[in-house]
Amino acid sequence: MLIEVIEKNNEKLQLGDIIAVNGNNELYMVIALRETLGEHVLVNIRNGYESLGSCKSLRHLEGDLKRRGYKLYSSDDYKLRLVPRE
């Protein structure tokens, strides 16, 4: 998977965003599990089941991420392309 950043406009956390957490070599996607848990979680993109915390709202999730440090790939500012491994 290749993340192609188109432009950098949106700094606000939203569903579908991809997050790279400082000190961690994994990428996570922000999803909502409102139907089951009523929470927002970060799910590991590579394996799809490992999560990195959960919060009742995106605002709380963003506050937790700010303490850890992160890089945001906003779903408004990127497109994903599947590319074969080299």
What pLDDT is attached to residue 41?
A: 84
Ramachandran bin of 51, using left for φ above 0, alpha for ψ from -120 to 50, beta for the remaining angles: beta
Kindly give the parts of the chain with pLDDT less than 70: 1-2, 5-10, 34-38
Break the chain into its structural domains and give their ranges.
Answer: 2-81
- For 25, 55, 56, 72, 77, the CA distances from 51, given in Å and listed in that order, are 14, 12, 15, 17, 23
pLDDT computed for residue 66 by the predictor: 87
- pLDDT at position 38 is 67
Residue with tokens 């290749």: 2
